[in-house]
Chains A and B, each alone.
Chain A
Amino acid sequence: AQSVTQLDSQVPVFEEAPVELRCNYSSSVSVYLFWYVQYPNQGLQLLLKYLSGSTLVKGINGFEAEFNKSQTSFHLRKPSVHISDTAEYFCAVSEGGGADGLTFGKGTHLIIQP
Chain B
Amino acid sequence: NAGVTQTPKFRILKIGQSMTLQCAQDMNHNYMYWYRQDPGMGLKLIYYSVGAGITDKGEVPNGYNVSRSTTEDFPLRLELAAPSQTSVYFCASRTGTGAGELFFGEGSRLTVL
A residues contacting B by CB (< 8 A) are 4, 9, 32, 34, 41-46, 49, 51, 90, 94, 96-97, 99-107
Contact = CB atoms under 8 A, between A and B. Distances in A.
A44 B40 contact: no
B90 A90 contact: no
Nearest to B101: A46
B58 A51 contact: no
Interface of B: 4, 31, 33, 35, 40-43, 45, 48, 50, 56, 58, 90, 92, 96, 98-102, 104-107
Contact of A43 (B31, B50, B104): B104
B76 to A, nearest CB: 14
A101 B90 contact: no
Contact of A42 (B56, B99, B106): B106
B44 to A, nearest CB: 8
B108 to A, nearest CB: 10
A32 B99 CA distance: 7
Given A42-B107, A44-B43, 12 more contacts: A41-B106, A42-B106, A43-B104, A44-B90, A49-B99, A49-B101, A94-B99, A97-B100, A101-B33, A101-B58, A101-B102, A105-B42
Contacts of B105: 43
A56 to B, nearest CB: 18
B42 A44 contact: no
A67 B45 CA distance: 25
B47 to A, nearest CB: 10
7 contacts: A43-B104, A90-B42, A97-B100, A99-B96, A101-B45, A101-B92, A107-B42
